[in-house]
Amino acid sequence: MSSPRSWICDGVPKDGKEYPNSSGPHAPQENYGPDCVICGLPKEAMQPGKTKVSGNDVGKPPLVPIAVAIALMLLVGGGGWWYVSQQNKNETDGNSTVGISVNPLAIVSDTAVNARLISQGEKILLTGGRNFQEKTAAAALFAQGDWNGAIREYQLAANRDPNDPEAKIYLNNAKAKESGNPVGMAVVAPITPRVNEAKEVLRGVAQYQEEYNRQLPNRLLEVVVVNEEQASIADSLAQDIINAPLNVLGVLGHGVSNDSRQAMRSYEQNNLAVLSPLNTAIANSNVKTISIDKTKVLLRSYQQQVGETLANYAAQTYSPAAAAVFYNSDIGYSQEMKDEFAKALSQKGGKIVKEIDVTVSGFEAASAIREARQAGANVAYLALTRNKVDIAIALAKANNNQLKLLGADELYNPTILVKGGEDIDGLVLAVPWRWRKDDPFARDATDLWQGRVSWRTATTYDATQALVDAISQHPGDRAAISQALNQGITLKKTATEFNIFNDIPLVKAVSGTAGPSGSKHQFDAI
């Protein structure tokens, strides 16, 4: 029997009224607040109104949904904390999933193994910066459950540094908590090892969260920020998210490592949707996820297109194109990019005249460039991964603008613009998105962040929108959300208006003032 404080909702109004903001029918849900945690219907909507009944129904009691959840209310101090255990239908194999403890006001890090790496606003993960004092004060208030105080201080932090995505996310999280019935998602970003990339990812999430919550939906979006301090803990972080007392309904992030693959398998096994570079295809206005077992095909398709795009550019620049390829053999992604470029260049009538592994003992940039030129190269493809950016800069300096430098998305970062200086002038990169002044998304993002954003921000914005659309269509149902993303979500407003598997944009490093702080260069579209 249900507690006297609880009430049951199945998403179908019983009072004869219409609720246009409700998300529709769902499995019976036991609630303790004024609104249903799944569909948002108010408690009174479940109270039968005066309706006409047929003769066969006269004298019969109204049908009452049977609860499929067992609830336990815990009162702590003056605030109410509630946990609802519910069974969600596994739409993949027809079996029921393990019960999920649901508390809209929960702090995920309270029960997480990796508590120090997870925050909804109760701790600061992006330390330093000119607004750190305001953020610290806001975090203390958030941790105490003082949502209005946290809103006030996070607003001050966001105003003080408009370029800080963490402040904006936590500001909107505090507003979502204050509303009493937020809907949750998580974003996993490499804050400790690659803080600039992490900020670019968080900006995409923060921008869509702010746009979504500004529309005053029935349930405001709350984002759990997770710091993937090192790849080896990816699956441990996934377990914290999966088992969180806040019902996290989807995840963005992780990388392309084997550890990330294991994390994604864990998400799949628990019917929790995840969008990552490994499993997400963004084509025109459609975002679609695929099974982890098929991700190698997706990644290889992207690598092939990058290789073809850069080979085509090289062949158009030089006839014939003769390329030296620099790669790091310690990471398979680098070798695969090298191989795809070599294959595509051969088909364009060019050739690889030198392959140089930058990880070999005794590697020296100046000697390597000299060897490339002696071999007859007129192009140097830097098929290096993000952990070799310093080597890419050293090669650019040693090159002294003699060979045409090419690269891919791994080299698209502020460091190469700041430290590369004049030596990276003319560097051409193939990336999933390019900033253009006539692009509505780029214009909005520039206004919000007071500066240009990267392809990581654009693609994350689209992925966040797709995930939230799926959540809105299937509130509270992890399996249905995953299935919707597997089938594909069509976006109404998209940042990536092209198909990255058929059309990889090119950007070039040029002199300008729109780059990161400390740089006199920026990446412009070709």
pLDDT in tens, 119-165: 999 999 999 999 999 999 999 999 999 999 999 999 999 999 999 99
Write down the pTM of the prediction: 0.73
- CA 154 – CA 137 distance, rounded (Å): 8
Decide if pLDDT at 384 tops 80. yes
CA 462, 107, 449: angle at the middle one, nearest 5? Answer: 35
CA of 345: how far to CAs of 41, 303, 312, 500, 504, in Å?
59, 14, 7, 19, 16
Taking residues 6-19, what's their average pLDDT?
Answer: 78
Residue 251, phi then psi, degrees to nearest 5? -135, 140
pLDDT at 86: 28
CATH 3.40.50.2300 residue ranges for the chain: 297-433+503-525
Decide if pLDDT at 55 tops 60. no
Decide if pLDDT at 293 tops 70. no
Taking residues 37-50, what's their average pLDDT?
Answer: 73
Helix axes 132-143, 165-179, angle to 10 degrees: 20
- Kind plus residue range of the DSSP H or E element containing 289: strand 286-289
Q: Greater confidence, 4 or 25? A: 25
Q: Cα(first)–Cα(last) distance of the chain, in Å? A: 66
pLDDT at 94: 30
pLDDT at 282: 67
pLDDT at 284: 63
Domain 297-433+503-525 carries which CATH code? Answer: 3.40.50.2300
Say which range, 3-7, 47-51, 70-74, 496-500, has the weakest mean pLDDT.
70-74
Number of H-type helices and E-type strands within the chain: 14, 20
Q: Which amino acid is at 196?
A: N
Band of pLDDT at residue 261, cut at 50, 70 and 90 = confident
Q: Greater confidence, 79 or 36? A: 36
Name the one residue in this structure whose structure tokens are 């310093």. 390
Q: Greater confidence, 525 or 55? A: 525
pLDDT at 37: 67
Band of pLDDT at residue 502, cut at 50, 70 and 90 = low
pLDDT at 286: 76
- How confident is the model over 227-240, as pLDDT tens digits? 999 999 999 999 99
CA of 260: how far to CAs of 233, 274, 291, in Å?
9, 11, 13
- How confident is the model over 162-207, as pLDDT tens digits? 999 999 999 999 999 999 989 999 999 999 999 999 999 999 999 9
- CA 34 – CA 42 distance, rounded (Å): 6
pLDDT at 278: 63
pLDDT at 381: 98
pLDDT at 302: 83
Decide if pLDDT at 283 tops 90. no
Count Cα neighbours of 210 within 13 Å in the Cβ-side half-sphere: 20
- How confident is the model over 80-102, as pLDDT tens digits? 222 222 223 333 333 223 444 57
Of 241, 207, 234, 235, the residue nearest 451 (C-alpha)? 207
Percent of the chain residues past pLDDT 90, beyond the cut? 62
- How confident is the model over 433-463, as pLDDT tens digits? 888 888 888 899 999 999 889 889 998 999 9
Indicate the burial class of 89 (C-beta count within 10 angstroms; 0-12, 13-18, 19 or more): middle
pLDDT at 8: 81
Taking residues 259-265, what's their average pLDDT?
Answer: 90
Q: What is the mean pLDDT of the chain?
A: 84
| Cβ neighbours for 369, distance < 8 A, ≥ 6 positions apart | 380, 395, 398, 399, 402, 403
Class of domain 108-278 as given by CATH:
alpha beta
* Structure tokens given for 260: 């990330």
pLDDT at 27: 64
The answer to whether the beta carbons of residues 251 and 187 sit under 8 Å apart is: yes
Decide if pLDDT at 275 tops 80. yes
pLDDT at 30: 66
pLDDT at 1: 34
